[in-house]
Structure 1
Amino acid sequence: MKKSSFIFGTVLLALVNVVVRSLGFIYRIFLSRLIGATAIGLYQMVFPFLMVLITIPTAGIPIAVSKLVAKEKSLHNREGIYKVLLLALSLGGITSFILSVFVSLKIDFIVNQILKNPDLYYPVLWTIPTISIVTFSSILRGFFYGLKEMAPAASAQIIEQFFRIVFVLTYLYYKIPSNPVAAATIAIIGISIGEIAGLLYLVFRFNFKKIITKSHYIRTYSDSSLEIFNHLLFVAVPITLSRLVSVVMQTANSILIPQRLQVAGYSSVAAIETFGKISGMAMPLLYLPFTVTTALVLNIIPNISEQLAINNWKDVEYKSSLALRITLLVAIPTTIIYAIFGHHLAQLIYGHEDVGRYLSIISYGMIFLCMQHTLSGILHGMGKQIATTINYILGMMLQLYCTYFLIPNPRYGINGFFIGFLLATFTIFALNLITLMRHIKLNISFMQAVLKPAFASLLMIIAMIYSYQNFYSLSSSNAWSTVVSSIIGGCLYLFILLITKTFDINRLINTIKE
């Protein structure tokens, strides 16, 4: 079994995403118990600021590295691979250095005028080393993705999370900070500790011998450093801009939604509570399928780039179609579960049944949300990142319009946000699909990709409802009834996929062995 297999890499990264997210979820529970609500609040104020900072050097550059390294690898161009990596590290290093200097010089302005809390001085101060560490770590992961060696990059993510958790929880357990500010600072320092561990592992796994072996790489013509640098910028800048738009939109929504709800007649407390239930409870559940689509995107970008370098359009079309079919296999049942079973899940996880109503509404956009994510990855691999950025901005403008003008109308209220979210999600999906179909022909059977998974999903949800009712009548426990019915439904869904040959196990094994 080749470790460069598209399916193998996707499965590996998906499993790693599950492990990392699970560790992160457990970590948050223990952290909140050890440092308390005030310290968590301070940490949550600094963390989004840090995410904005690291978005600039890490959103586009690692993807550009993955794409360009895959291209040079397909051409057996050793010199080109080295140039891409060195130039990317230089670009990332310069960008992170400028950001670090900016934060250092403007830290008083940041904590007093932007974050509006002087207590955040030391937590913000300790974000400075994190910027460069995360940048270099992300670029090296992109390098391994480009070589189609998923194991080092995947292992590094687990190591980062593990060392971060061990450092923070061990420190807090043996030496409880005297105040919430110190506790929040330790949590911020833990991010750097974890990233350092992951970066050292990636450096250790940097296998020079494999890259320079003449049997694998021959000397060919290589673009000049300036040309490669221009290629890096051409790929990285639009993707970075798209991510920044996403961050800005999240920030705008966090400000606008509570304000516009108050205009619609909500009290200040009700407005904040409603926004919190949507953004902090319903949305994280909605993005759970991104565990799979993120793995697909990270894997498909270097695969498509590699095949385009040798003009293998047939393989590009095959892998693009396969990625979209896998996305639908995950998105269709999840959409139906959230739409019908959302109330039970929300009650089980959060203890708030009204969160389930919000989840059920936004779940209708899940198929389009997952599809647009995978489509953007395919287009990035094809070098169409400018088109995806324009598509994304157009969709987000539509959502912002609905947020600003529909929410204040008492006729719509918070439903104005849902309308904007669903319209924006569908618009971005449609524009990305149209863009892709202008360049390649997708080989997707509607029967195999949509109707059979939908049929299996309907039988699954019927089994879940029936088993939930019967088990609840015996146990009177919503938690256990939801868990048992979910397991039964999931197993039935996979079984139906197998017997209807929607999911061909023999073909899957052969694909992995390719």
Structure 2
Amino acid sequence: MNIISSLQPKPSIGGDPLKKSSFLFGIILLTIVNFIVRSMGFVYRIILSRLIGAEAIGLYQMVFPFLMVLIAIPTAGIPVAVSKMVAKENSLRNHTGIYKILTIALAIGGTLSLFLSIFVSLRIEWITTEVLKNPRLYYLILFCIPSISLISFSSIIRGFFYGLKDMQPAATAQIIEQLTRIIFVLGYLYYQRPSSPIMSAIIAIIGISIGEFFGLLYLILRFQIKKFKNVPRVIMGPTESMPAISKSLLFIAVPLTLSRLISTLMQTVNAVLIPQRLIVAGYSSIEAVETFGKISGMAMPLLFLPFTVTSALVINLIPNVSEQMALNNVDDVTYKSNLAIRMTLLVAIPTMVVYAIFGNHLAELIYNHEEVGRYLSIISYGTLFLCMQHTISGILHGLGKQVVTTINYMLGMSIQLYCTYILVPNPKYGINGFFIGFLLSTFIIFVLNTISLHRIIKLKVPLIQSVIKPGICALFMIMTMNYSYHFVYGFMHSNTWSTLLASTLGILSYALALLVTKTLEIRTLMNIFRG
């Protein structure tokens, strides 16, 4: 039996095979959309940086993390709570409950975003001078304000569609948001050519709100169609009171929001603490900042690339698991959880191998900086644990164990913070102290989440099919990449072309090896798209 051929389960343990295909098709659809959106964003950043210059990009980058902190409050937990609760009510055919949940979530999200907007409006001078330490950011912060509400409402309505397991509207909205933002910003900058870096950065900030507005508009139109179709059934089914629904929403949302805020706070702490502790270790101020920039700004974004797949898995898992738990269908939850873990391993194992062995060539291709490749090779060993903890935390959220995942995350992050503070200033370790903390924390969170999940459902991940075979296929892939790289480099003497061709052949060889070893089957994949 191959990993995804378990898509055709026995009737007694999974129910309708069409639903299994729908589950996997949703994952594949969101993975493709995530890849498209991230690729568009990557190209957009390159063109934007060339159009507006380093200073304007620097101003933009100073404001963007602040905006992410603001929107984490209304968007980190509420959309997930909506997805989970809508899926549960939908499984019980309680359509009145579905729309009550959405209404209350929009009210809570709207209230939070309104409060944040008013706070920022009244305290812009204090934020720019005391928090961000740059008065030039005044108008950039001002033009950030509309995006707070737009992103909040957009995220909640996407959570509504995820809960109904209707992935297409949310996926299309993401593409519309990205496209309209890119067209507006690049079009305006190309034709107007602002002379001031501040004005250029403001246009990039306004583009966020423009994109979110059109994405939200599309979601509202699709929501009205969805609601109209369900009008004859809206009055059916008993429903909880408004306070009870609000309490359930907040019970799910608050721990997830806390976890996101901790993650954001940790990024901020690392941005301040790592350079400071490196200076104590003997680095110069410039060396400390450069080292941190290479890790956080170059190596880490590559490390999180597999989240394109795991994010799609998590978005699909939470409503699916919640729905099946409402129907007391533990077998289906177990099946989908094990399948998601196996799919994660299919992506995480080869990614880890490529980064560990081929990371220097990739870093030189993308950043023209081989030292970034050394950092990427070191942290690559956390790829497997990062991907696994992401997927397993999604399953636990679907099971209503968001408090457990938050506690596990806090424990892991405390280890990383301890290592950064204690080991990094020691000349014996230096920046390697951060790597030790990072790898330890990812492993500890993965172990704690796995133990937490195993106590609830029985995990069945066949060692040969799920780990050994993908591992062998990954080794075959990296051998192909190394051989083809040196072969092409011998003729062309170009790292760019050698890396591109080697990477393409590596992906093809991995896919071929999966088919040859019957880890995947073409027939099964065709059934997914037909289903």
TM over 0.5: yes
Task: Give the structure-2-normalised TM-score.
Answer: 0.95
Residue 158 of structure 2 is matched in structure 1 by 141
State whether residues 2 and 512 of structure 1, in contact with CA within 8 Å, keep that contact through their aligned partners in structure 2.
Answer: no
Counterpart of 2:67?
Answer: 50
> Does the Cα contact within 8 Å between 1:11 and 1:295 map onto a contact in 2?
yes
Q: CA deviation at 1:510?
A: 3.9
Q: Does the CA contact (< 8 Å) of 2:82 and 2:101 recur in 1?
A: yes
State the secondary structure of the residue aligned to 2:230. Answer: helix
Q: Deviations over 1:467-498 (max 9, x none)?
A: 11111111111111111111111111111111
Over the matched positions of the two proteins, sequence identity in percent amounts to 65
Give the structure 2 partner of residue 31 of structure 1: 48
Could you tell me whether the CA contact under 8 Å between 1:54 and 1:131 is conserved in 2? yes
Q: Which moved more, 1:113-122 or 1:493-502?
A: 493-502
1:468-483 matched pairs, under 5 angstroms: 468-483=485-500
- Counterparts of 2:422 and 2:217 in 1: how far apart (Å)? 50
- Tell me if 1:113 matches 2:130: yes
Counterpart in the other structure of 1:294: 311
Amino acid of the residue matched to residue 144 of structure 2? T
Aligned equivalents of 2:391, 2:93: Cα separation in 1: 28
| 1:57-109 CA-partner distances (Å, limit 9, x unpaired) | 00000000000000000000011001100000000000001101110111110
Which of residues 421, 429, 438 is equivalent to 2:446? 429
Find the counterpart in structure 2 of residue 89 from structure 1. Answer: 106
**1:452 CA drift (Å):** 0.3
Q: Which residue of 1 aligns with 2:183?
A: 166
The answer on 1:443 being equivalent to 2:446 is no
Could you tell me whether the CA contact under 8 Å between 1:78 and 1:219 is conserved in 2? yes
* Residue in 2 that maps onto 1:414: 431
- Is residue 2:221 matched to residue 1:221? no
Give the Cα–Cα distance (whole angstroms) in 1 for the partners of residues 467 and 59 of structure 2: 45
Question: Does 1:63 find its partner at 2:84?
Answer: no
Report how far residue 511 of structure 1 moved. 5.0
CA distance in 2, matches of 1:403, 1:213: 59
1:126 and 2:143 matched: yes
1:344-355 equivalence runs, <5 A: 344-355=361-372
Q: Please name the residue that 1:362 is paired with.
A: 379
Aligned 1:458-473 pairs, distance under 5 A: 458-473=475-490
Deviation by residue 1:17-73 (Cα, 9 ceiling, x = unmatched) = 111111111111111111111111111100000000000000000000000000000
Whole-angstrom CA distance in 2 between matches of 1:2 and 1:448: 24
Q: Which amino acid aligns with 1:18?
A: F
- 1:175, CA displacement in angstroms? 1.1
Aligned-partner residue type, residue 231 of structure 2: I
- Which residue is equivalent to 2:5? none
Q: Which amino acid in the other structure matches residue 209 of structure 1?
A: F
1:503 match: 520
* Distance of 2:44 and 2:210 partners within structure 1: 15
Contact 2:96 2:235 (8 Å CA) reproduced: no
Following TM superposition, by how much is the alpha carbon of 1:178 offset from its aligned partner in structure 2, in angstroms? 3.0
Cα distance in structure 2, aligned partners of 1:410 and 1:114: 32
Which residue of structure 1 aligns with residue 227 of structure 2?
208
Give the deviation of 1:220 after TM superposition: 1.7
Contact 1:6 1:512 in 2 (8 A): no
Q: Deviations over 1:140-197 (max 9, x none)?
A: 0000000100000000000001010111111111112231111111111110000000
Deviations 1:101-156 (A, max 9, x none): 11011111000100111111100001111100000000000000001000000000
- Closer, same or farther: CA 249–380 of 1 in aligned 2, 3 Å: same
1: CA distance between counterparts of 2:394 and 2:514? Answer: 26
Q: Which of 395, 405, 412 pairs up with 2:412?
A: 395
Deviation at 1:505, TM superposition (A): 3.1
8 A contact 1:3–1:9 mirrored in 2 = no
Q: Deviations over 1:353-390 (max 9, x none)?
A: 01000000000010000000001100001100000000
Please tell me whether residue 405 in structure 1 is matched to residue 418 in structure 2.
no
Residue identity matched to 2:338: S
Query: Is contact 2:485–2:499 with CA below 8 Å preserved after alignment?
Result: yes
For 1:181 and 1:16, the matched residues in 2 are separated by 32
**Which residue number corresponds to residue 150 of structure 1?**
167
Contact 2:21–2:528 under 8 Å retained in 1: no
Deviation at 1:209, TM superposition (A): 2.7
Does the 8 Å CA contact 2:85/2:163 hold for their aligned counterparts?
Answer: yes
How many aligned residue pairs are there? 512
1:478-497 → structure 2 map (5 Å cutoff): 478-497=495-514
One-letter amino acid of the structure 1 residue matched with residue 328 of structure 2: N
Aligned with residue 248 of structure 1, among 240, 251, 265: 265
Q: Is the 8 A contact 1:9 1:150 kept in 2?
A: yes
- CA distance in 1 between counterparts of 2:484 and 2:203 reads 46
Task: Give the letter aligned to residue 256 of structure 1.
Answer: L
Structure 1, unmatched stretches of 5+, are none
Instruction: State the alpha-carbon separation in 2 of the partners of residues 447 and 221 from structure 1.
Output: 48
Residue identity in the other structure for 1:463: T
Structure 2 partner of 1:384: 401
Assess if the C-alpha contact under 8 Å between 1:72 and 1:81 holds in 2.
yes
Q: Give the deviation of 1:513 after TM superposition.
A: 5.2
Deviation of 1:333 after TM superposition, in Å, equals 0.4
Helix, strand or coil for the counterpart of 1:440? Answer: coil
Q: 1:260 to 1:177 in 2, by over 3 A?
A: same
Alpha carbons 2:173, 2:215 under 8 Å: kept: yes
* Counterpart contact for 1:281–1:355, Cα < 8 Å: yes
Partner of 2:352: 335
The alignment yields a C-alpha RMSD, in angstroms, of 1.3
Match of 2:13 in 1: none
Structure 2: state its 5+ residue gaps. Answer: 1-17
1:247 partner amino acid: T
